[in-house]
Amino acid sequence: MAEFTPEKITNLVQGYIRETLDNDEKCRSISGPTSDGTTTLPGKTILESSDMKAEEAQSMLHSVNRWLRNQDHSLMKSVTETLIKAEGAEVDPNSDSYRVLGRELLKAFQGILQVRIRRSVGDYSVPDEELIPVLKQSKQEQPAPVSVAAPVVQQETKSLPFTELQDRYIAEVEKGENWTAKTKAENLSIFALFVRAMGDMEVSQINRQVMSEYKSLLMQLPPNLNKGSKYQGMELKEIIAQKPKNTLTVNTINKYMRRLSGVFNYAVKNGYMPSNPAEGIQIRSQKRADQEREAYTTEDLRKLFQSEDYREDKHRASYMFWTPYIALYSGCRLEEICQLHLEDIRQEGGVWVFDINDKHEKRLKNQSSRRLVPIHPHLIQLGLLNHVEALKTKGERRLFSELDQRRDGYGQTVSKWFQRYKKRCEIGDGKTFHSFRHTFITHLKHKQVDPFMIHELDEHTIDSETMGRYGKRFTPDILLKEAVEKIDFGLIGIA
């Protein structure tokens, strides 16, 4: 990497800044006046393109300042290596050039965040060069922006029918043990509907027009076609001719398109298709991402946790008492809670944590779901640790031994019970057990907790590829103090 002179590094950093700010402005153009969520361009991450809002940018800026202070440049690791490879050089993490470029990129990102903060409130009065001095360091003509995206390699496509592509895709996914039985069955059903509607087409013939026609067809179909409905056995064109009153929701249609997009991404990577015909073809919902599943209000929580069952301890099984509380104060998924072993409730660095892992028979949604979640003091106050010790004394192995493992895991019994319990508490249909997770995340955002900390607690608040750009996790004591202990739903003393 001897050719990476100070001038070369400056030019690379300038290119990254200009492309990132250009992408930032594109995001602001397409997000629309009603958007309150962060928008990113397809194939990009929050570092490369984002119409980041002021609060989120300010929080991230605080973290970047700390990383610069600690000489930790790992956030920019992927950007650094991509830029080096784009120049045809070998990546040498131990070289001075690599370290200098990484630090300069982190300093550049610090300036980018300052620009984003101003743009988010409509302030374009200060030139970017004043906020990011490196932009005006060189007086010579600026080079074209260096793309941080992987180059697209044109490949000769191979001919095979969709069902064969599907089988190869499934075999690879299963080899990596990335699907549960439920996920596989769901995907097979989605793929079968595509073949039923469009035929077993050669993948080389599946283009955006085909996918647009399929999307139009989905918009006219009713839900639950294969669940003993009156439409069972009918041709799709016959069903559509009847003009069903209830049709597939936007979320369902988009889910079908995403799953097909996953197959086509596999096809592109393996040379069966030149591009993904389902990419970016989803229906744009008027709902923001944070409105898709409602959070519980304070009144809802009082109805749930101040009911007769809680006031008079009338729960017939321990999961009926503990699972809602654990979900509310940890943000963990239903299955993550229901499959907990007693050994998963332990101390790490003097802090009690839920160890979310896939040891023994347990399953995780994905590999990044492994994490340590500090136990909120209210759960300890309610007697969770005492309950665990009592179960250990009895020789139990799992926290909820009364739950049996089924095809989809341990959570089915709890899910059905909670739907009935929620209804008795007069909570609306738009809220489910998963709404506890949404409530947890929303509460942390309102407390202005660092987005990176929220990510480590819930595993997917910030794009996982972005989070993969730095390797050091926050320790449980920091997560407890800076995030979990800030959670207060006003329930302490109620149960």
Which 3 state secondary structure label does DSSP give 210?
helix
- For residue 371 the two structure tokens come to 């994490």
> Looking at the domain assignment, is residue 290 inside a domain?
no
Residue 385 covered by a domain: yes
Both 121 and 193 in a single domain? no
DSSP assignment of 223-249 equals S-TTSS-TTTT--HHHHHHT--SS---
- pLDDT (0 to 100) of residue 30: 77
The CA distance from 341 to 446, in Å, is 32
Q: Which helix (H) or strand (E) holds 118?
A: helix 96-120
For the chain, how many residues are written? Answer: 495
Q: Which domain holds residue 400?
A: 298-486
Q: Give 248's contacts (C-beta < 8 A, 6+ positions apart).
A: 218, 219, 221, 222, 223, 256
Spatial neighbors of 338 by CB under 8 A, at least 6 apart, are 319, 323, 400, 403, 409, 410, 411, 414
Q: From residue 276, how far is each of 209, 264, 273 by CA, in Å?
A: 12, 5, 7
CA distance 87 to 335: 46
Whether residue 466 lies inside any domain: the answer is yes
144 part of a folded domain: no
In a domain, 491, yes or no: no
Give me Rg for the CA atoms of the chain. Answer: 26
pLDDT of residue 168: 93
pTM: 0.56
Q: In what order do the strands lie in the sheet with 345-348?
A: 345-348, 351-356, 371-374
CB 290 within 8 A of CB 37: yes
Which residue, among 56, 34, 150, has the nearest Cα to 462 in the 3D structure?
56
- How many separate domains does the chain show? 3
The answer to the question of residue 405 being in a domain is: yes
Q: What is the pLDDT along the chain (495 residues), one digit of tens a residue?
A: 455 788 888 988 998 898 888 888 888 777 765 555 567 777 666 677 777 777 777 878 888 888 888 888 888 888 888 888 888 788 888 888 888 998 999 999 999 989 888 888 888 888 888 888 888 765 444 444 444 444 444 445 567 999 999 999 999 888 876 677 778 888 999 999 999 999 999 998 999 899 999 999 999 999 877 666 678 778 888 889 988 888 998 889 999 999 999 999 999 888 898 889 998 888 876 554 444 457 899 999 999 999 999 989 899 999 999 999 999 999 999 999 999 999 999 999 999 999 999 998 888 877 678 899 999 999 999 999 999 999 999 999 999 999 998 877 899 999 999 999 999 999 987 899 999 999 999 999 888 888 888 888 987 544 434 344 434 578 899 999 999 999 999 886 554
For residue 465, what pLDDT is reported?
41
Query: Is 232 a domain residue?
Result: yes
Asked if the structure places residue 152 within a domain, the reply is: no
Q: 334 and 472, same structural domain?
A: yes
346 and 469 assigned to the same domain: yes
Indicate if 232 and 320 belong to the same structural domain.
no
- Looking at residue 72, its amino acid is D
Is 128 in contact with 21 (CB distance < 8 Å)? Answer: yes
Alpha helices, DSSP H, located in 382-411: 384-393
Chain CA centroid to CA 375, Å: 22
Co-location of 355 and 217 in the same domain? no
Residues 102 and 231 in one domain: no
- What pLDDT, on a 0 to 100 scale, did the predictor assign at position 139? 45
CA atoms within 13 A on the CB side of 287: 9
Could you give the count of Cα atoms lying within 13 Å of 41 in the half-sphere of its Cβ? 17
> Residues 185, 188, 194, CA angle at the centre, nearest 5°?
145
End-to-end alpha carbon distance in the chain: 63
35 lies in the same domain as 119: yes
CA–CA separation, 488 and 439 (whole Å): 12
What is the per-residue DSSP string for 148-193?
Answer: -SPPPPP------BHHHHHHHHHHHHHHTT---HHHHHHHHHHHHH
Angle of CA points 79, 147, 265, to nearest 5°: 90
Give exposure, 110-144, as e/b (b: 16+ Cβ within 10 Å): bbbbbbbbbbbeeeeeeebeebbebbeeeeeeeee
Same domain flag for 123 and 166: no
**Does 197 lie in the same domain as 88?**
no
pLDDT at res. 389:
97
Shared domain check, 214 and 75: no
Burial-class residue 397 by CB neighbours within 10 Å (0-12, 13-18, 19+): exposed
Q: What are phi and psi of 417, to 5 degrees?
A: -60, -45
Find the helix or strand (DSSP H, E) in which 351 lies: strand 351-356
DSSP per-residue string spanning 49-107: S----HHHHHHHHHHHHHHHHTT--GGGHHHHHHHHHHTTPPP-TTSHHHHHHHHHHHH
Exposed (0-12), middle (13-18) or buried (19+): which is 235, by Cβ within 10 Å? exposed
Same-domain pairing of 342 and 466: yes
pLDDT of amino acid 406: 84
Last residue of a domain, one of 95, 119, 136: 136
- Return the residue matching tokens 């001075």: 96
Q: Using an 8 Å Cβ cutoff, are 203 and 162 in contact? A: yes
409 DSSP 8-state letter: B
Residues 402 and 348 reside in one and the same domain:
yes
